[in-house]
Amino acid sequence: MSLRTWSIGHALAVAAAAVLAPACNPVVHRFDRTTVVASLARGNEAALVIGEFPLLKVTDGDTIRVAGLDASMRLLGLDTEETFKRKSEYMEFDKGWERYLAEAQAKTKSPVKIPTPLGEEAKKFAEAFFQDVRTVRLERDHPKEIRDFYNRYLAYVFVEKDGKTYNYNVECVRAGMSPYFSKYGYSRRFHKEFVAAQEEARAAKRGIWDPAKQHYTDYDRRLEWWNRRGDFIQAFEIEAADHSNWIVLTHWDALDRLQGKVGREVVVLGAVGDIRETAGPTKVLLSRRRTGSLPLIFFDKDVLARSGALEAKGEFVRAHGVVTKYYNKYKKQDELQIVVTLPGQIQRDLEPPAPAEDAASEEAVSPDMPEATEPEGQAPADTLDTDAADASDADARAVEAAEREGRNDSPAPPGAAH
């Protein structure tokens, strides 16, 4: 069956579906920087709850829209396949599934992230799951993990159906619509549930685990790579619990904690983003937000080469050294940095697995591994996401302002672990 025929049927099914938003709209309470600060001040357990929000729209299998948030969301533990959005994508698919997949893979060294019929199926699953649901409850994985690189809220989505509470993130994996996505760390609250849901879906050959369906064919390799990253992050978090100078850059209070450590040694966990080689020092930027990173400064090219930082682009590393300030004459402000003088100051995970010979069916490189250096202020390619365009500069300013207020108003949980 051609994609045109298939997509027409899908469009009719969507058109016939019930509208998610009820006729009687509930009152919308806006969740913005003020409420972020207030929620953090309530303490660890209470701070896990973002709130309840009216459901507006299902965008795809791992993206929904709600009323009241000042930014979009990234659903934790999920990475469903893409949906078809352009005529050119339909035309490419109509060449035939195997050719479509092979030609897409030939354009990149990384595993493909392209629209598939399974991506459309994941969207239909989400539409059916949320049908007749008026409100959803959003929760965090950890009080200090609030937003991602693009300033989207990191969230689990809970709904009440038939007198029971369901975690959509876990149920999406159970249905085989997504793998358990551990690329940015394991779920701290629902790891066992995600693992069990994935094992159940795989045993039953649902969704992405059904060899008869058209979907990415390299999930074993993706999972192996993601889980190694998850192990690396988890090991840091466990050790950080006993050290006040171990800092995770994605935590909302990371910059405040670094400011308090100026002139002292720290150990930080971050993903290598942009690398700027000049005639003088080389800057290796550890990504924190789209609006800012922590630079690791290398004056010695040999130290840079031996540290492995160049090969670690897009991946998580541990970096230790003394926090210092420098004056950025372009931004006209003081900024923080760590000068690296010894290769051993950088620790990273093992090398990514070598690419498989049959790239169309078994990709081995990290799915979003960058191939080029991005301009300052953009995400490292490792963090790029197809729905990230929803995160605007206004979102970035809002969360930074919220964090500034939160540093003064809310107590930090004990330890440095997530």
pLDDT digits (tens, 9 = 90+) for 86-104: 999 999 999 999 999 999 9
Question: CB–CB of 207/175 below 8 Å?
Answer: yes
Q: What is the mean pLDDT of residues 201-223?
A: 97
pLDDT one-digit tens code per residue, 286-321: 988 776 799 999 999 999 999 999 999 989 999 999
The predicted model gives 261-281 an average pLDDT of 93
Compute how many other C-beta atoms are within 10 angstroms of the C-beta atom of residue 303.
Answer: 18
d(CA 52, CA 109): 41
CATH number assigned to the domain with residue range 241-348, chosen from the 4 options 2.40.50.140, 3.60.110.10, 2.60.40.420, 1.20.1250.20: 2.40.50.140
Average pLDDT over residues 339-352: 87
Asked if the domains 3-235+384-404 and 241-348 are classified in one and the same CATH topology, the answer is: yes
CA-based nearest residue to 22, from 124, 131, 162, 129 = 131
Strands (E), 20-169: 49-60, 63-66, 73-75, 135-139, 153-161, 164-167
Please indicate whether residue 193 or residue 381 has the higher confidence score (pLDDT). Answer: 193
Which single residue is written with the structure tokens 């249905």? Answer: 175
* pLDDT at residue number 210: 98
Residue ranges of domains in the chain: 3-235+384-404, 241-348
Q: What is the pLDDT of residue 364?
A: 31
pTM for the predicted model, two decimal places: 0.76
Q: What is the rounded distance in angstroms from the CA atom of residue 110 to the CA atom of residue 97?
A: 19
Q: Which fold has domain 3-235+384-404?
A: OB fold (Dihydrolipoamide Acetyltransferase, E2P) (2.40.50)
- State the pLDDT at residue 329: 84
